[in-house]
Amino acid sequence: MRGSRIQVAVFSDLIEITNPGGLPYGQTMELALSGISRMRNRIIGRLFREIKLIE
């Protein structure tokens, strides 16, 4: 959402990034609630997966 701010929270065991806005293309609330997610930025997601920061 234009004008919304990304929030970053740093904890001792994790970093949580919140990006306000709508669901990514192809994602529905039903899919999200059933545990299926879609990445907005595949490059960052792949990098984080390779360095074992996300699964």
Tens digits of per-residue pLDDT, 3-47? 778 899 999 998 888 878 788 888 999 998 998 888 878 898 889
CB atoms within 10 A of CB 36: 10
3-state secondary structure 21-47: CCCCCCCCHHHHHCCCCCCCCHHHHHH
Q: What pLDDT sits at residue 51?
A: 94
How far, in Å, CA of 55 to CA of 40, rounded?
15
> Does the structure show a pLDDT above 90 at 50?
yes
The type of residue at 13 is D
Q: What pLDDT sits at residue 26?
A: 86
> Does the structure show a pLDDT above 80 at 55?
no
Half-sphere exposure of 40 (CA within 13 A, CB side): 8
> Does the structure show a pLDDT above 70 at 1?
no
